[in-house]
Amino acid sequence: MTEAPAQDRGARSRDAILDTAGELMSRYGYAATSISMISSECGLPASSIYWHFGSKDGIYVAVLERARTALLAALPPAEVPGADVAQRLDGFLAEVEDAFQRHPHGLKLLLGLGMVQQDASAAAVAEVHHYRDALVAWAQDALSAVFGLNDRPDVADELARFTLRMASGTAVARWFEPGAVLETGPLHVALLALAAHHNVLVRGTLGEVDLSRDVTDRE
């Protein structure tokens, strides 16, 4: 009769440790977050933390896994609705911004912004790369749908990585300006220009003008 309550208490303790560790690591980074800091903040003894996770690195990997699962689950399907490129791009960027706003700490952690130091294990580094690979693949599929790039995966890849770099830059800015937001308006313009640079015919924007022609003329 006592086994289930004990399991519930154990699960609650584990979640409390992960909540606290995720908050601290996203704020201070992996190297600067100690077991004693986590213990003090969550109110659980260090022995409980070691019992659940074995080490600080074990906590970090668990935090990363949970953040990755939550973020990827929150992403919309890669098929972006909309009658034209402009509408689809607006929808895509709105979803990116929404995920960015709802998961600020997870985004910092999973982008690896200075938190994977030399003392982090291969498992922690691998988890960050696993997340990045999954996120890049989603962005590639979504932007391929936005711009109709099924036969041009190289362009979809460049657009995806550019978008994620802009999100990364905003996450970096949040270290110094907590209120910094992802500027989707300029990003919208930049993605259209980058697509045009690769001679992608962009319909539904600027009166259905072929932006690539404008870029070529200016060159």
Per-residue pLDDT of the chain (219 residues; tens, 9 = 90+): 445 566 677 788 999 999 999 889 877 877 788 999 999 999 999 999 999 999 888 998 898 888 888 888 878 788 888 888 989 999 999 988 887 777 766 666 666 544 455 556 778 778 778 888 888 999 999 999 999 999 999 999 999 999 988 887 887 777 677 777 888 899 999 999 999 999 987 765 543 434 443 434 434
Measured CA to CA, the distance from residue 30 to residue 26 in angstroms comes to 8
Cα separation values, 210 from 53, 145, 190, 213, 215, Å: 56, 18, 15, 6, 9
Measured CA to CA, the distance from residue 47 to residue 122 in angstroms comes to 24
Q: Which residues of 147-181 are buried (b: 16+ CB within 10 A; e: fewer)?
A: bbbeebeebbbbbbebbbebbbebbeebeeeeeee
